[in-house]
């Protein structure tokens, strides 16, 4: 038997909210909660009504090349977008969850067009002044969240490539700061850098 293809209604959540009277609905997602190094990044995007960008999917399911191509398309198509970062210092001071929520909040508040509703990927909500709801696996079910996931992922990856030039010994260009075997070996060999999250390295350093 052939594999069943499930058609995703990419605008289901957006259209439901439009029917409730909301006009500027922003999708919000983050990238980089799990890595051992570098900041967390969040993006908020408002798309024009009824917009589906061809080729968009959850950023984790796209190749790096495809994400880079779609990044420019999203930027050119969006009514408004904002990309925000939560620094390693903020992560160390407040923890990764609080920093992620605050970074999402900054992304929403930084939009040049004020959103009147936010749909957030995941299972927690940042403290916003506008109505919002979270959608589990939203980046695979909502066009607004999916494009936000692409902007966040590409923006963070680009920053990690810059860090790779500054700290070549860690090979950030290969793993973007995630806890791969290569990365952990380089940390054990060279010790942590200024952009490593020390709270994430406790078990590794204790070894």
**In the predicted model, what is the mean pLDDT of residues 107-126?**
98
- Number of domains the chain is built from: 1
The verdict on residue 182 lying in a domain is no
The verdict on residue 24 lying in a domain is yes
Interval 19-34: pLDDT, tens: 999 999 999 999 999 9
pLDDT above 70 as % of the chain:
97
The verdict on residue 52 lying in a domain is yes
- For residue 74, the model assigns a pLDDT of 98
| 1 pLDDT above the threshold of 50 | no
98 exposure class (CB count in 10 Å sphere: 0-12, 13-18, 19+)? middle
| 84 pLDDT above the threshold of 90 | yes
The verdict on residue 193 lying in a domain is no
The verdict on residue 195 lying in a domain is no
| 89 pLDDT above the threshold of 90 | yes
67: domain CATH number? 3.30.420.10
Alpha-carbon distance of 63 to 55, in angstroms, equals 11
Alpha-carbon distance of 121 to 137, in angstroms, equals 6
Residue 181: which pLDDT band, with cuts at 50, 70 and 90? very high
The verdict on residue 94 lying in a domain is yes
Tell me how crowded residue 141 is: count the other CB atoms within 10 A of its CB: 18
- CA-to-CA dists, residue 148 to 89, 126, 192, angstroms: 24, 15, 31
The verdict on residue 151 lying in a domain is yes
Q: Cα(first)–Cα(last) distance of the chain, in Å?
A: 50
Structural domain span for residue 110: 12-156
Residue located via tokens 């930027």: 75
Answer whether 201's CB lies under 8 Å from 193's CB.
Answer: no
| 146 pLDDT above the threshold of 60 | yes
The verdict on residue 202 lying in a domain is no
């Amino acid at each position: 038997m052939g594999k069943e293809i499930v058609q995703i209604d990419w605008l289901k959540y957006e259209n439901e909210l439009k029917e409730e009277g909301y006009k500027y609905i922003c999708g919000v997602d983050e990238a980089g909660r799990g890595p051992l190094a570098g900041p967390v990044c969040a993006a908020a995007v408002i798309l024009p009504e009824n917009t589906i960008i061809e080729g968009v999917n959850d950023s984790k399911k796209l190749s790096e090349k495809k994400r880079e191509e779609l990044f420019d398309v999203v930027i050119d198509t969006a009514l408004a977008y904002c990309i925000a970062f939560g620094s390693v210092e903020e992560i160390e001071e407040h923890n990764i969850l609080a920093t992620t929520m605050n970074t999402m909040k900054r992304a929403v508040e930084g939009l040049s067009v004020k959103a009147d509703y936010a749909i957030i990927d995941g299972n927690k909500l940042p403290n916003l002044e506008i109505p919002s709801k979270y959608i589990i696996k939203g980046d695979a079910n909502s066009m607004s969240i999916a494009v936000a996931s692409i902007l966040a992922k590409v923006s963070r990856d680009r920053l990690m490539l810059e860090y790779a030039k500054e700290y070549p010994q860690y090979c950030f260009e290969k793993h973007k700061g995630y806890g791969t075997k290569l990365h952990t070996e380089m940390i054990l060999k060279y010790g942590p850098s200024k952009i490593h999250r020390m709270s994430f390295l406790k078990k590794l350093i204790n070894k």
